[in-house]
Amino acid sequence: MSPASVKKRISESTIHRLSLYYRTLSLLEKENYETVSSKELAKREKLTPAQVRKDLSFFGSFGTRGLGYNVNELKKKIETILGINREWRVALIGVGNIGSALVSYKEFAKQGFDIVKLFDNDQRKIGSNHKGIIVSDIKNLEKEIQEANISMVILAVPATVAQYIVDDVVKAGVTAILNFAPINLRVPPYVHLRNENMAMELEYLSFAMVNNHSPKKTK
Amino acid sequence: MSPASVKKRISESTIHRLSLYYRTLSLLEKENYETVSSKELAKREKLTPAQVRKDLSFFGSFGTRGLGYNVNELKKKIETILGINREWRVALIGVGNIGSALVSYKEFAKQGFDIVKLFDNDQRKIGSNHKGIIVSDIKNLEKEIQEANISMVILAVPATVAQYIVDDVVKAGVTAILNFAPINLRVPPYVHLRNENMAMELEYLSFAMVNNHSPKKTK
DNA sequence: TACTTCTTGTGAACCATTTCACATGGCTTC
DNA sequence: GAAGCCATGTGAAATGGTTCACAAGAAGTA
């Protein structure tokens, strides 16, 4: 009834929940479930069944009345919606603490995010090997990003240099950036920027404890 | 007009924005700003001035009409609201890729989150030193957490074992958990649980690119 | 085929959050 | 001390997101 072609503004929360559904569907698949109801899916995510159905309904009708959703089929649908049914060539910039942890982060690879390039400005790191990838000199950023056909960048550099690197990365034609530096970056309107701020969630916990905020959802 | 004592349900987004304001105020302080208006604050966070004022108004009136907010004073107010004006004794469980990156993550320490204990189950890691902290055997989890007076736990272990550890941690009396494992954990209702899912933001970027979703806010 | 059971898909109702708009009050200048 | 300016704090309006409730479709049973 509401085909994917119909442009409707989808909320950020809906997309985030699709990620959750995807993860749970992968699990259900491993547990050899054939089908799953919105009720069961909701239970696992601590959401309401109506929420699950509404989220999915923005993109089409994937279920069977009386039966539920076919696990494998729904998983594939969500992969398509999220755009993770393909390979994304990703460059990771900054091979420090966070950066080197991310190189080996399995969830990225599982979902089609292939880190194929590493960059740093530290001479001691340049040339070194992380999980089979040689760290490149950030001096060659623009050229190498274009040659390697990179479309996404993960930024794990100090806040002080993040903006300069973003400017270069944008010049190189990258249009999606995941930023781990605790700073507000400026990008042109056509570039997608997301910030990952790990302190934020600890701060939320702190607030919740101090205020006896009854925990409800976990994002 | 609306003192902090009045219990009102504060939205998750408001708390997250307070974190953003806090970070920006720290920066403004370094740049020697005396005062800041909601307009300026909003500009830096890509929000509206009304949003900033409304967020703050839930907790009191901290500004001066015609002038704006005193940077240092507002920063302190937010510290108090978020509960980061004190020290939190934190244990980090799982000294793998992510775990060891987090030990050195400066933002945590800056905001009063003191990682004072490390745990792992890997004999090769137990006894080793990370940033001055000796890794403990997870076998002694409950006892050591209580002795060290830990109130928060950061969980950076594989998904397969996360639930068992959470159960132990809860038994030890911990009531705040930040989970990096890609799994839905069960905790009693009085325990605060937050999940950090780094793949989620990449998935959002992927979705945005595939759907030409015009970027608006970055969380 | 008729009946029961189950669960989807979705307008409509409800609730939460954001934005608007303006009265209020502090500060500065004359 | 009056006037002008500026930016807060906040009800009210507008927007956006979630939940309700039910019609309708599929599968199984007799």
CATH label of the domain that carries residue A35: 1.10.10.10
Give CA–CA dist B157/B165, Å, rounded.
Answer: 9
Q: For position B212, what pLDDT does the model report?
A: 78
Residue A5 has pLDDT above 70, yes or no: no
- B96 and B59 both lie in a single domain: no
Confidence of residue A212 (pLDDT cuts 50, 70, 90): confident
3 state SS for A63-107:
EECCCEEEHHHHHHHHHHHHCCCCCEEEEEECCCHHHHHHHCCHH
Q: How far apart are CA B192 and CA A201, in angstroms?
A: 11
> How confident is the model over A41-60, as a mean pLDDT?
97
Give the C-alpha separation, A155 to B180, whole Å: 19
For the ranges A201-215, B3-17, B117-131, the lowest mean pLDDT is seen at B3-17
Please tell me the distance in Å from B29's CA to the nearest CA on chain A. Answer: 15
Q: How far apart are CA B167 and CA B190, in angstroms?
A: 13
pLDDT of residue B9: 86
* Claim to verify: residue B105 and residue B147 sit in the same structural domain: yes
Mean pLDDT of all residues belonging to chain A: 93
| Residues in Cβ contact with B177 at an 8 Å cutoff, skipping those fewer than 6 apart | A205, B152, B153, B154, B155, B166, B169, B185, B187, B191, B192, B193, B194
The reply to whether A38 Cβ lies less than 7 angstroms from strand C is yes
A29 and A113 belong to one structural domain: no
In a domain, B60, yes or no: yes
Distance B211 CA to C5 C1' (A): 39
Has residue A161 been placed in a domain?
A: yes
Counting every residue written for chain B, the total comes to: 219
Domain final residue pick, A48, A82, A116: A82
CA of residue B205 to C1' of nucleotide D14, angstroms: 29
Instruction: Read off the pLDDT of each residue in B53-74 and give the average, rounded to a whole number.
Output: 96
CATH assignment of the domain containing B127: 3.40.50.720
Contact B108 A199 (CB under 8 A): yes
CA of B208 to C1' of C28 (A): 49
B213 touches chain A (CB under 8 A): yes
Residues of A with Cβ-Cβ distance to B81 under 8 angstroms: 207
User: Which of B36, B52, B82 is the C-terminal boundary of a domain?
Assistant: B82
pLDDT at B216: 43
Res. A41: pLDDT tops 80: yes
Tens of pLDDT, residue by residue over A157-190, are 999 999 999 999 999 999 999 999 999 999 999 9
pLDDT band at A58 (very low <50, low <70, confident <90, very high): very high
Q: How far apart are CA A56 and CA A43, in angstroms?
A: 16
| pLDDT for B1 | 36
Q: Is A217 on the interface with B (CB under 8 A)?
A: yes
User: Per the CB < 8 Å rule, is B19 touching A203?
Assistant: yes
Structural domain for A73, as ranges: 12-82
Note the pLDDT of residue B33: 95
* Partners of residue A152 in chain B, C-beta under 8 Å: 202, 205-206, 209
Task: Indicate yes or no: strand C within 7 A of the C-beta of B205.
Answer: no
Interfacial A residues in 64-123 facing B (CB < 8 Å)? 81-84, 88, 90, 97-98, 100-102, 104-105, 107-108, 110-113
**Pair (A134, A62) in one structural domain:** no
Same domain assignment for residues B124 and B194 = yes
Q: Is the pLDDT of residue A132 over 70?
A: yes
Name the band, by pLDDT with cuts 50, 70 and 90, for residue B214.
Answer: low
Decide which of A82, A97, A123 is a domain's last residue. A82
| Best residue of A17, A186, A204, A209 to probe chain B, by most B CBs closer than 10 Å | A204
Let me know if residue A36 belongs to a domain: yes
Report pLDDT for B35: 96
Identify whether A132 is part of a domain.
Answer: yes
Q: Tell me what pLDDT residue A213 has.
A: 66
The answer to whether residue B128 sits within a structural domain is: yes
For residue A130, tell me if it sits in a domain: yes
Q: What percent of chain A shows pLDDT beyond 70?
A: 93
For the stretch B200-213, pLDDT in tens is 999 999 999 999 76
How confident is the model at residue B49, as a pLDDT?
98
pLDDT at B178 (0 to 100): 98
Between A217 and B129, whose confidence is greater?
B129
My answer on whether B128 and B44 are in the same domain is no
Does a structural domain hold residue B174? yes
Q: Look up the protein residue whose alpha carbon has the minimum distance to the C1' of D19.
A: A50
| Number of domains making up chain B | 2
Q: Residue range A104-125: average pLDDT?
A: 96
Predicted confidence (pLDDT) at residue A63 exceeds the cutoff of 90: yes
Question: Would you state the structure tokens that stand for residue A43, as one six-digit string?
Answer: 């239970």
Averaged pLDDT, B15-42? 97
Nearest CB among A154, A195, A218 relative to B195 is that of A218
Q: Which residues of B touch A45 (CB under 8 A)?
A: 184
The pLDDT of residue A218 is above 70: no
CB atoms inside a 10 Å sphere around CB A39 = 12
> Residues of B from 40 to 79 whose C-beta is within 7 A of strand C: which are they?
47-48, 50-51, 53-54, 64-67
Query: Could you tell me where the DSSP H helices lie in B83-219?
Result: 97-103, 106-110, 141-147, 159-171, 198-211
